[in-house]
Every structure is written in C-alpha cells, then in structure tokens.
Amino acid sequence: MSCTTVTPLTLSHPDKLKLGENETMEEAESKFIEFTKAYKALTDDTIRENLEKYGNPDGPQQREDKIAIPKWVVEGKSSAWVLLAYGTVLGLGIPFIVGRWWFRQRRLTRDGILNGTAELFFHQLREDTDFISLITILASALEFQAVLGRKQKGSKKQRKERQARIEELETELDKKRAELCVDESPTMRAESRASVTTAVARRVRALLWAHLLRFELEPELQQEQLEVLRTVPPLLNGLTNIALAHNWLRVSLLCFNLQPRLVQAVPSTHLALGQLPNISLDEAQELEITKNAGGRRWIEKFIKADVEGKDEAKKVAKIWPRLEVVSAEFKVTDEKVITPLSIVSLTCKCRYVYPNTAVENGRADSVEAVETAVDEKKKSSSRSALPKPDEKKTPVKRVGYAHAPHWPANRSPGFSLLLGDSKLDKVIVQPTRLMDIPMPNPDGSPAEPREFTLQFQAPPQANLYSFVAYFQSDTLVGGDISRPIMVS
C-alpha cells in the first residue's frame, strides 16, 4: 500500500516574489490576495460559508447591471439631442397621457356615459314620462353626435335631402305606430312631453322607432341603425339609474321594460307573440284579438290555440323559458322576527320552467285551468325528479343565449329584482341582478331553484308594510313577474 505525501502550499509575499515575463506588480498582488482568501476558506468557517452561499469569500457583493447603449447616444456631440428627447418624453409625453386619461374620466359618469348626456337625461326625465317620450330622451344622448354627426355634413342640398328622407320616414312610422295602438299616455302632463332639439337626435329617434316597428330601411340607414343600437346599452343603463335615483317606481319599471322591447324589436308588451319565429307584429296583434293569446299567460294560450302555418313558432313556444318564483320571504339572520332598523334579506328561489307541459292533449280549457295544470305538473315533476339512493343528481342546466334575431349581438337573459311600493309609486330597495337562473332538466322537468338575496334595512317603526317584489326581464318581453309581499 502506497502513501501520498501532501506538501503544504507556500506563498511568497509580492515584495519577495520574482515577477515573471509580462507580469506586473498589481497582478502579483491580486493573485496573492486570492491565494490568501482561498487558504483562509479552508481554515475559517465564516469565509467558507460565504464562499458556498455567495460564491465569494467576502460575502454578498453589490450587483451591477449594464445595458447596451448605442455609441452615438453617449458621444458628446449628441448630448444635446439626447437631453431634448428625454425632456420631450418626460416633460410633454407623460403629462399628455396622464392628462388625457384624467380628463376622459372626468367627462364620463360611473355608468360610462358623457356628463352632458347625464345632465340632459336628468333635466328631461319626469315622474310621468311615458314610453314615447322615453325614446325621445334616449335619442337626445350626446354620444350619437360622434356616431352620426360626421354623416350630417355635406352640401346644403345633401342636408335637405337627408332631412326630407327622415321626415318621410317619420310619417310612415307614425302610421305604423297608430295601427299597433302605441300612443302617448293620456295622464302625462304637456310640460313633461320630451322633444328633439338637434337633427342628429331626430334621426336617432326615427331609427329607434324603425327598429321597434320593424320597418324596412334602405342600406345606408340600416348601417346607421346598427351603430345606434350598439351605442344604446350604456345609455339606457344610465337613464334607468337616474330614474332609480329619484325613486320613481313607474318610470324605473318603464326603463327596465324598454330593454327587452329593444332587444326583441317589439314596441309594446301586448305584442309579446312577435318574439316568436315567423310572427310579425301585425300577426301578433291579430292573434291576441282573434285567439285571445294575450295577457299574463300569453305563451300558454298560444300553444293551446288552433293556429295554422305557425308550426315553428309553436315549437319554440313549448320551450320558451318562463321565470318561476318558487318562494319569496323576508329573513333576519339569527332572528325569528323583524325588528325595526334590522338588516333584512329578501330571499327568493327562482328557476325557469317550460310552458308546454300545462296544455298537452288540450287538457286546459281556461287560464285558471292552465295555471292549475301547471302547478300540478310541477308538483309531480318535482316528486319524480327526487333522486333515488343509487341515482346521481342531474347537473343543473344554465341558460345560454336568447332568441333575439333583431338585436345586433348575442344576448344572455337575466332579471333585475327590486322592491317597490305601488301605492306611493316609490322604489323601496334598489335592484339587484339575477343571472344564471337554472333551466329545466333535459326531460323538461323543473330543476332545483337557485336562491337569490336582496338586502335592505327594515323600516324604523314596527308596523305591517305591503310591498311588491318586481322581477324585470332584460331580454324577454312579457316575462316580468310581480309578487306582493308583506313585512311586519
């Protein structure tokens, strides 16, 4: 067995070291320091730990990052241009971007509409505003200036021609509106009647009515109508919020009701059949009169009615989703009674149901019989839908896009729930949105309802209060529900 002898490393001080060829004293000193540190790393625990952790016996070192800069930037003759560029970016560019963002935010309300538009809405909306004036107020929004204002320019002859076309269109629309019995409210005061003040507002109003009445337009006006409809949603939301801010119940419900009318291109809730395929507004009006297919149970009445040539409409009607409020009650957390000024929750269980199960085989002969048949069918379906011990629960089917061929975008239906006092015409509790309401099961039976909550503070005095819970659809005409409810 051989044994290797380790010779200790000896270091010579740079002063006693003989320099090699092309070697300087600084290099010799640097090597001596490195060797010394390496030797200490073998004997000193702290130095060895620094070497293992940071790769340097002296511990963590200051990091220095470098970037490559073109040579011309750092040259003395270019310094003036570099300073000018920095001054332009820092002194003008950044303030411009920040200022533009700031002033744009100041121009808009939290609803995303122009402050000038909100002011117009605020001054024109009245407690007794009717549907016709509501369309006029909506058309006065300043946002339409950007949409159609540039198209109003041209020669004097061109402007007169455009005005003549709008006047002719207004005449035709007035006739169509009279045929469908869409009139001004007789209870609205004369001073509350809204009027247009600009050529753009007049044009927008005509295009909105042409949409509601499904009036055929020339290609140029059709394109303008699409641009107007795409601009409407935030404006209508802002108009609704102004009505809610005044706590005007009737006008607030009218604003909510305008949303599905615009989506389905139906000017009145009495023409709900016009939402179904291949049914015009005139046919919808005729069916309501001749087949009594109107009112709260319009869809069930239409399914039961003997109507020829409307097979597709009846097929869609049988799977038309209708909101069902399974229950609605007031609750206070950890309390059995509602005390004054306590936080109350209006808890509602809702789901969609199909109307066709109530009128199969012609079993129902009246509206009351239809309602009874619907209730019986729901009860039996609910019992049959209970899972057996070894049976898996059917997953809840969510609603997709609604049938809305006249609206220029896909529309997922939902509801707004608010609490009001119909006697005082006041909104008591501001609305909340109801989305993702369960659709019926694949076999048509009702799904498990989903629970929604609307919170508010109880009145300051103990008493019996009569309110109404309003469920307002934002997509389907004739789908609204009102439920009287008591608070004590």
CATH number for the domain spanning 191: value is 1.10.3380.10
Give the per-residue pLDDT at 42.
Answer: 65
Q: What percent of the chain has pLDDT over 70?
A: 70
| pLDDT level of residue 146 (50, 70, 90 thresholds) | confident
Domain count, the chain: 2
Do 48 and 106 fall within a single domain? no
Residue 291 lies inside a defined structural domain of this protein: no
Do 149 and 234 fall within a single domain? yes
Give the per-residue pLDDT at 81.
Answer: 66
Give the per-residue pLDDT at 120.
Answer: 94
pLDDT in tens, 96-142: 565 555 445 567 888 889 999 999 999 999 999 999 999 999 999 99
**End of a domain among 246, 266, 282?**
246
Higher per-residue pLDDT: 14 or 194:
194
Residue 343 lies inside a defined structural domain of this protein: no
62: Cα within 13 Å, side-chain hemisphere: 1
Do 226 and 108 fall within a single domain? yes
Do 50 and 184 fall within a single domain? no
Phi/psi region, residue 224 (left: phi>0; alpha: psi -120 to 50; beta: rest), is alpha
Do 35 and 127 fall within a single domain? no
d(CA 462, CA 251): 29
List the domain range (segments joined by +) for residue 117. 99-246
Do 103 and 192 fall within a single domain? yes
For every residue of 154-199, DSSP letters joined together read: S-HHHHHHHHHHHHHHHHHHHHHHHHTT----TTS-GGG-----SH
φ, ψ for residue 248, nearest 5 deg: -85, 110
Mean pLDDT of 80-87: 66
Do 185 and 129 fall within a single domain? yes
Do 111 and 183 fall within a single domain? yes
d(CA 443, CA 385): 10
Residue 80 lies inside a defined structural domain of this protein: no
Q: Is residue 92's pLDDT more than 80?
A: no
Q: Is residue 357's pLDDT more than 80?
A: no
Q: 9: helix, coil or strand?
A: coil
Q: Residue 331's beta-bridge partner residues?
A: 345
Do 241 and 104 fall within a single domain? yes
Give 60-69's long-range contacts (Cβ < 8 A, gap of 24+): none
Do 109 and 239 fall within a single domain? yes
Residue 430 lies inside a defined structural domain of this protein: no
Q: Residue 418's beta-bridge partner residues?
A: 470
Do 138 and 238 fall within a single domain? yes
Residue 149 lies inside a defined structural domain of this protein: yes
* The one-letter amino acid at 44: D
**End of a domain among 246, 267, 293?**
246
Q: Is residue 392's pLDDT more than 50?
A: no
Residue 208 lies inside a defined structural domain of this protein: yes
Do 30 and 158 fall within a single domain? no
**End of a domain among 224, 246, 268?**
246
Give the per-residue pLDDT at 328.
Answer: 92
The answer to whether 446 touches 382, Cβ cutoff 8 Å, is yes
pLDDT in tens, 404-450: 999 999 999 999 999 999 999 999 999 999 999 999 998 889 999 99
Residue 335 lies inside a defined structural domain of this protein: no
Give the per-residue pLDDT at 46.
Answer: 72
Q: Is residue 222's pLDDT more than 70?
A: yes
Residue 188 lies inside a defined structural domain of this protein: yes
pLDDT averaged over every residue in the chain = 81
Picking from 269, 298, 271, 264, the residue whose alpha carbon sits closest to that of residue 285 is 271
In Å, what is the CA distance from 236 to each residue of 65, 82, 135, 265?
55, 51, 10, 15
| pLDDT level of residue 461 (50, 70, 90 thresholds) | confident
